[in-house]
């Protein structure tokens, strides 16, 4: 959902999935840069539909993903027709966090490989309510300057330029039917760490309007930061 006061179209978060390859990605476009929504969509799309395996080719995955995403982003923007205020800002490029995860079927349950740039967080929730989180493990670790994936500069820098891969952290693990995976952008992730309301949220997941009202209350009572919110919950049946 969008930051309170903004329309849904203003949301700069993106989620994408590929159920064939069991890949999921969430990105949180930085509101300080322009066209971050386009960039967030481009990087989640190229992450889940790329050809590289998360388990065996992590470096190549990031390199290819970002190169393809730049083309998608660059071609989406009609540089020549932008008014001066868009043109002058868009040249600086767009930024976004990114978290990707791929699952692989094992003899019992699944294994997963995940990577992150920035403060979008993956939680693995145990049946007893305890959890492991990646890449951040404490609400104190959230700040205003998370690592970000950068699109590179815009026009007049050409679209086919060498891209600089962002600093990426990786983790892997196993996942079974008693557990649950949450992927959340920073405001929800920090709130989950502070208040631990995993089950309340999980119970509301199938009623979007109730969940929206629930989050709106949390924001209005200052428990959660007013921001674009994305939460993905994955479980095995």
Partner 1 sequence: MAYSSEISRRNPGLFLFLIDQSRSMSHKLGGTLRSKSQEAADAINRQIYELIYRCTKSDGVRDYFDIGIIGYGAVSDSADSLLKDETIVPISKLAENPLRMEKRTEKISDPDGNEVETEFEFPVWFEPVANSNTPMVKGLKLAQEWLDDWLAEHHDSYPPVVINISDGAATDGDPLEIAKAIISMSTQDGNVLFWNCHLSELKGQKPVAFPADSTVLPSNEKFATQLFEMSSELPDSFLNLAQERALDVQPGSRAYVFNAGLDELLELLDIGTRAPTENLQ
Site residues (CB under 8 A) for partner 1? Answer: 3, 5, 9-10, 31, 34-38, 83-89, 91, 152-153, 156-157, 161-164, 226
Nearest approach, Cβ of residue 202 and partner 1 (Å): 29
Report the C-alpha gap between 213 and 80 in whole angstroms.
41
Which lies closer to partner 1 via its Cβ, residue 81 or residue 108? Answer: 81
Q: Rank residues 10 and 200 by Cβ distance to partner 1 and give the closer one.
A: 10
In the complex, what is the shortest distance from the CB of residue 36 to partner 1, in angstroms, rounded to a whole number? 8
The closest alpha carbon to 227, from 135, 140, 97, 130, belongs to 97
What's the min distance (Å) between Cβ of 162 and partner 1? 5
- Report how far residue 137's alpha carbon sits from residue 25's, in angstroms, rounded to the nearest whole number: 19
CB of 164 to partner 1, least distance (A): 6
CB of 56 to partner 1, least distance (A): 27
Task: Decide whether 32 or 130 has the Cβ nearer to partner 1.
Answer: 32
Q: Which is nearer to partner 1, 12 or 45 (CB)?
A: 12
Residue closer to partner 1 by CB (options 37, 119) is: 37
Residue holding tokens 């490029």?
A: 93
């Amino acid at each position: 959902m969008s930051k309170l006061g903004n329309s849904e179209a203003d949301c700069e978060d993106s989620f994408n999935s590929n159920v064939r390859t069991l890949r999921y990605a969430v990105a949180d476009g930085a509101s300080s840069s322009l066209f971050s929504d386009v960039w967030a969509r481009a990087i989640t799309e190229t992450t889940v539909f790329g050809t590289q395996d998360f388990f065996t080719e992590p470096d190549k995955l990031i390199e290819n993903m970002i190169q393809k995403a730049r083309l998608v982003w660059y071609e989406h923007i009609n540089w020549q027709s932008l008014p001066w205020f868009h043109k002058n800002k868009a040249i600086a490029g767009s930024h976004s966090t990114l978290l990707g995860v791929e699952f692989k079927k094992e003899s019992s349950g699944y294994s997963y490989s995940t990577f992150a740039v920035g403060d979008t967080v993956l939680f693995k929730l145990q049946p007893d309510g305890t959890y492991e989180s990646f890449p951040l493990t404490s609400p104190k670790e959230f700040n205003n300057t998370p690592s970000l994936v950068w699109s590179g500069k815009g026009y007049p820098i050409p679209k086919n330029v060498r891209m600089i891969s962002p600093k990426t952290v990786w983790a892997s693990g196993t996942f079974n039917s008693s557990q649950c995976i949450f992927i959340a952008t920073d405001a929800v992730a920090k709130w989950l760490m502070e208040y631990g309301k995993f089950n309340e949220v999980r119970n509301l997941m199938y009623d979007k309007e109730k969940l929206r009202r629930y989050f709106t209350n949390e924001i209005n009572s200052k428990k959660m930061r007013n921001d674009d919110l994305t939460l993905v919950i994955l479980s095995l049946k």
